[in-house]
């Protein structure tokens, strides 16, 4: 084993990955990132420089979730692998397998390579969507890491299924495979916080769509929010805290409605006030629309619902101090304006 083995971060071009890599570099680790194309290496280096880090401390290896090539090389000699890569489309595909297969098969590829390479710990980026949709919960239920989405529910999007099945496959693998690494799972909610460049994460894309005036009205849906800086800190603490092994950590602070996000855009950028949603659609109207517009069906399980949840595990177990939803959303909007993207 090398004296200072690099931490491996898969999907190095992603928003969460860039912040996570920067956090490891600040702590003195070298990082090896995987990319599905080397074309994005310079973009990642620029983002790291913007975050005040030395981009020379990162190396890259090409590996795609859909193929076996590169994964053994990527994890070789490493003790910690952070697996963030997963398809995260803004529009759901017609064939759910387009999202589910790379997410699940890719997670297993990373875990198998980590087992062959005697990696000590894998930190997996799952999502609160793998928590928030069990088959049966009482009204007023407070969601936590004890909850697991039932992927057989018929009202789930391909993305929700992909994250749920991938996380379950990871836990099953760890339990059944001799010599498998320890697993820590981070379950972030809707990620906000500062964008770094024009390669926008799906969660930032939403603002660009909103700023075009595409949504005069929005359904009554809310979601917990996490700041990407806290999500990155969660991954690093998940990697380095001995007691984190075998745990999931729900990351989120506060709630935000789609309409509320638009109000923050209008507050921060008054020139866009006329573009953001003017009102919330009544639930009955959304249900009626969903009978003719397939895209609307994906919001039906959320209509009018605010999910109560606990983030105590992350705060106590990982010692995280989470930024509130308004601060995270405001930082996202200001960064997008600075980048001239909205």
Interface residues with ligand NDP (CB under 6 A)?
11, 13-17, 36, 40, 64-66, 84-88, 102, 125, 127, 163, 188, 190-191, 201-203
Nearer residue to ligand NDP within complex by CB, 159 or 215 = 159
Judged by CB, which is closer to ligand NDP: 62, or 289?
A: 62
Q: Which is nearer to ligand NDP, 85 or 333 (CB)?
A: 85
Minimal distance, residue 13 CB to ligand NDP, in Å: 4
The distance of closest approach from Cβ of residue 305 to ligand NDP in the complex, given in angstroms and rounded to an integer, is 18
Nearer to ligand NDP, 64 or 305 (CB): 64
- Least separation in angstroms between CB 117 and ligand NDP: 18
Nearer to ligand NDP, 234 or 272 (CB): 234
Closest-approach residue to ligand NDP (CB): 14
Residue 118: CB minimum distance to ligand NDP, A: 23
Instruction: Report residue 179 as tokens.
Output: 């010599």
Closest separation between CB of residue 71 and ligand NDP, Å?
Answer: 10
Q: Which two tokens stand for residue 27?
A: 């702590």
Q: Nearer to ligand NDP by C-beta: 86 or 311?
A: 86
Alpha helix (H) ranges present in 62-96? 71-75
CB atoms within 10 A of CB 46: 14
Helix (H, G, I), strand (E, B) or coil at 332: helix
For ligand NDP, give the closer residue by CB, 78 or 125. Answer: 125
Residue 254, sorted as left (phi over 0), alpha (psi -120 to 50) or beta, turns out to be left
Q: What is the DSSP string of 267-284?
A: HH-GGGTTTS--EEEPHH
Determine the length of the chain.
Answer: 342
Minimum separation from the CB atom of position 228 to ligand NDP (A) = 8
Half-sphere exposure of 311 (CA within 13 A, CB side): 24
Q: How far apart are CA 125 and CA 308, in angstroms?
A: 21
Q: Are 281 and 217 a contacting pair, CB within 8 Å?
A: yes
The four Cα atoms 325, 162, 42, 233 give a dihedral, to 10 degrees, of 40
**DSSP state, 315?**
I
Residue carrying structure tokens 């000699």: 77
Contact 100, 151 (CB under 8 A): no
Looking at residue 181, the DSSP 8-state letter turns out to be P
Q: Least Å distance between CB 165 and ligand NDP?
A: 12
Rounded to the nearest whole angstrom, what is the least distance from the CB of residue 112 to ligand NDP in the complex? 16
Which residue, 42 or 271, is less far from ligand NDP as judged by CB? 42
How far apart are CB 20 and ligand NDP at their closest, in Å?
A: 9
- Rounded CA gap, 323 and 332, in Å? 13
Decide whether 86 or 149 has the Cβ nearer to ligand NDP.
86
Max intra-chain CA distance, the chain: 62
Residue with tokens 């909205």, as numbered in its chain:
342
């Amino acid at each position: 084993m090398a004296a200072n083995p690099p931490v491996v971060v898969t999907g190095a071009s992603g928003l969460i990955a860039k912040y996570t890599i920067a956090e490891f570099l600040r702590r003195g680790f070298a990082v090896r990132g995987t990319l599905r194309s080397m074309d994005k290496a310079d973009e990642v280096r620029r983002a790291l420089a913007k975050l005040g880090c030395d981009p020379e401390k990162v190396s890259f290896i090409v590996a795609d979730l859909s193929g076996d090539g590169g994964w053994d090389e990527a994890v070789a000699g490493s003790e910690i692998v952070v697996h963030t890569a997963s398809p995260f489309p803004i529009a759901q595909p017609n064939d759910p397998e387009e999202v589910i297969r790379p997410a699940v098969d890719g997670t297993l590829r990373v875990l198998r390579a980590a087992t062959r390479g005697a990696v000590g710990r894998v930190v997996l980026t799952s999502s609160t969507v793998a928590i928030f949709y069990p088959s049966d919960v009482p009204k007023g239920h407070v969601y936590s890491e004890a909850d697991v989405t039932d992927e057989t529910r018929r009202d789930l999007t391909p993305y929700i299924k992909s994250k749920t099945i991938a996380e379950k496959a990871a836990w099953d693998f760890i339990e059944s495979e001799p010599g498998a690494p320890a697993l820590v799972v981070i379950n972030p909610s809707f990620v906000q916080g500062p964008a770094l460049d024009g390669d926008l994460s799906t969660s930032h894309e939403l603002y660009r769509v909103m700023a075009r005036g595409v949504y005069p009205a929005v359904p009554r849906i809310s979601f917990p929010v996490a700041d990407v800086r806290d999500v990155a800190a969660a991954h690093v603490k998940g990697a380095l805290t001995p007691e984190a092994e075998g745990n999931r950590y729900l990351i989120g602070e506060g709630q935000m409605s789609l309409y509320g996000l638009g109000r923050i855009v209008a507050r921060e950028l008054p020139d866009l006030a006329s573009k953001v949603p003017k009102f919330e659609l009544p639930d009955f109207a959304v249900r009626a629309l969903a009978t003719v517009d397939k895209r609307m069906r994906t919001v039906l399980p959320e209509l009018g619902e605010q999910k109560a949840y606990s983030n105590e595990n992350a705060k106590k177990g990982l010692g995280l101090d989470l930024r509130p939803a308004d601060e995270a959303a405001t930082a996202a909007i200001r960064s997008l304006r600075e980048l001239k993207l909205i």
